[in-house]
């Protein structure tokens, strides 16, 4: 089996497992696994969007959790107003409206902050992206009306008018919601893969390797990077939109800088070189977190050691490890 086929087989296996295991568990009466897998798939979407910046364009954005938070509040705030009254222009249970809000708010935020951040390089880029996400964090904390620190309960999941009556598409039903998330993940992976292999992706990859040379060839990578920044932000927002619907709850905690760190961890854990790396990484992250936190109260310790180990010794992540074993 050559490496392309092996990769295809591996990717197919991941997708099949994600589709079958939760339903198998549901069948076996362990319904909570569906919740774990839903969280896994949503985080995989977020990590995939970040990998567009981190792995493809070589832009270590340290503030990606901001988009999850914005996407989540784009569900939480309209639902809050729809439940308790006020702000009629915003209030709605309509999922399409939430999605429009998510995309426009995240797109705009990414456009503005990206335009500023991309003027900087290296460490400054890491820190300025983090600073912008901290702004969102403190902004959400200071919104007393929406619970401030404590966050906001989302009483009902988004309603997708037009789909729910005709096709019985009601995402209050956990397995339908899981299928929705799974579908979104497929679309996101498709988009990321197409972008990666397009002219656009190649410019980004070239600018990552040698920016001077790309400029000398008459291409200014700034616009390409900004576009990647906006796309990644919007997809991250969609992940937040799903997360709010999943957990019936939004809070500024989603935007803490440690969350951004965890997303980066997932990418490195899975392997940055592959499109499926973030998915594998998110899977390892969520499953490990679940298993370890059941065994011990101190599950952050093995987690930290693992993170340290992966960075110090395991270049290429889980996928890299598998590849190396096959090579020898």
Partner 1 sequence: MDWTLVLTQALNGLQLGILLFLLCAGLTLTFGIMDLINLSHASFYMIGAFLCAGATLHFDSFLVGVLIGLAGTAVLAFIVEKSIISKLYKRDHLDQLLATFGLILIADTGVHLVWGPAGMAIPLPDVLQGQTSVGSLVVPTYRLVIIGTGFLIAIGLYWLVNKTRTGMLIRAGASNRQMLNTLGVNVQVLFSAVFIIGAVLAGLGGLLIAPITEASIGMGNDIIITAFVVIIIGGIGSIKGAFVAAMLIGFIDTFGRAFLDTIFALFMSVDVAETAAPAVSAILVYVLMAIILVWRPQGLFPPKLR
What residue ranges bind partner 1 (CB under 8 A)? Answer: 54, 60, 62, 116, 119-120, 122-124, 126-128, 130-132, 134-135, 138-139, 141-144, 257-258, 261, 264-265, 268, 298, 300-301, 303-308, 310-312
Taking the least distance from each CB to partner 1, the nearer of 118 and 238 is 118
**What is the closest distance, in whole angstroms, from the C-beta atom of residue 111 to partner 1 in the complex?**
15
Taking the least distance from each CB to partner 1, the nearer of 19 and 126 is 126
**What is the closest distance, in whole angstroms, from the C-beta atom of residue 40 to partner 1 in the complex?**
20
In angstroms, how far is the first alpha carbon of the chain from the final one? 14
Q: Say if CB 62 and CB 130 are below 8 A apart.
A: yes
Packing angle, helices 65-84 and 257-270, rounded to 10:
130
Taking the least distance from each CB to partner 1, the nearer of 175 and 299 is 299
Taking the least distance from each CB to partner 1, the nearer of 227 and 303 is 303
Taking the least distance from each CB to partner 1, the nearer of 169 and 303 is 303
**What is the closest distance, in whole angstroms, from the C-beta atom of residue 171 to partner 1 in the complex?**
32
Taking the least distance from each CB to partner 1, the nearer of 144 and 325 is 144
Q: Strands, DSSP E only, in the chain? A: 152-153, 249-250
C-alpha span between 277 and 118 (Å, rounded): 25
Contacts 24+ apart (CB under 8 A), 146-150: 146/73, 146/76, 146/77, 146/80, 147/251, 148/252, 149/251, 149/252, 150/251
**What is the closest distance, in whole angstroms, from the C-beta atom of residue 306 to partner 1 in the complex?**
8
Taking the least distance from each CB to partner 1, the nearer of 66 and 230 is 66
Triad 233, 278, 157: Cα angle to 5° = 55
Please give the torsion angle defined by the CA atoms of residues 262, 249, 183 and 164, in that order, rounded to the nearest 10 degrees. Answer: 180
Taking the least distance from each CB to partner 1, the nearer of 9 and 138 is 138
The residue among 265, 273, 285, 264 whose CA lies nearest residue 316 is: 273
Tokens in use for 264? 């980066």
**What is the closest distance, in whole angstroms, from the C-beta atom of residue 93 to partner 1 in the complex?**
26
Tokens in use for 83? 């439940």
**What is the closest distance, in whole angstroms, from the C-beta atom of residue 183 to partner 1 in the complex?**
31
Taking the least distance from each CB to partner 1, the nearer of 222 and 303 is 303
**What is the closest distance, in whole angstroms, from the C-beta atom of residue 131 to partner 1 in the complex?**
4
**What is the closest distance, in whole angstroms, from the C-beta atom of residue 62 to partner 1 in the complex?**
7
Q: Say if CB 68 and CB 237 are below 8 A apart.
A: yes
C-alpha span between 314 and 133 (Å, rounded): 29
Measure CA 206 to chain center: 24
**What is the closest distance, in whole angstroms, from the C-beta atom of residue 190 to partner 1 in the complex?**
26
Tokens in use for 201? 């992706």
Q: Which residue has the tokens 């309209």?
A: 78
């Amino acid at each position: 089996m050559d490496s392309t086929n092996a990769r295809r087989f591996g990717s197919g296996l991941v997708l099949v497992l994600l589709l079958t295991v939760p339903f198998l568990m549901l069948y076996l009466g362990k319904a909570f696994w569906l919740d774990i897998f839903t969280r896994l798939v949503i985080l995989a979407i977020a990590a995939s969007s970040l990998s567009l910046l981190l792995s493809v364009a070589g832009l270590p954005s340290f503030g990606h959790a901001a988009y999850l938070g914005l996407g989540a509040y784009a569900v939480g705030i309209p639902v809050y107003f729809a439940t308790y009254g006020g702000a009629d222009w915003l209030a709605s249970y309509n999922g399409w409206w939430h999605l429009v809000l998510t995309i426009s708010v995240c797109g705009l935020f990414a456009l503005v902050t990206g335009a500023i951040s991309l003027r900087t390089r290296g460490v400054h880029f890491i820190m300025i992206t983090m600073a912008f996400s901290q702004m969102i964090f403190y902004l959400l904390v200071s919104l007393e009306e929406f619970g401030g620190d404590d966050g906001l309960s989302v009483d009902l999941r988004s309603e997708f008018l037009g789909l729910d009556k005709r096709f019985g598409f009601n995402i209050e039903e956990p397995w339908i919601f899981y299928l929705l998330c799974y579908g979104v993940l497929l679309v996101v992976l498709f988009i990321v893969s197409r972008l990666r292999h397009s002219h656009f992706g190649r410019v980004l990859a070239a600018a990552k390797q040698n920016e001077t040379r790309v400029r000398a060839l008459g291409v200014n990578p700034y616009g390409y990077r900004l576009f990647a920044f906006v796309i990644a932000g919007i997809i991250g927002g969609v992940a937040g939109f799903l997360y709010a619907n999943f957990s019936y709850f939004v809070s500024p905690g989603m935007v803490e800088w440690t969350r951004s760190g965890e997303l980066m961890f997932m990418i490195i854990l899975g392997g940055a070189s592959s499109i499926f790396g973030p998915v594998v990484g998110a899977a390892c992250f969520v499953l490990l977190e679940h298993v370890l936190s059941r065994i011990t109260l101190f599950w952050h310790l093995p987690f930290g050691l693992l993170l340290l180990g992966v960075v110090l010794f395991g270049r290429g992540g889980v996928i890299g490890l598998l590849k190396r074993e096959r090579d020898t």
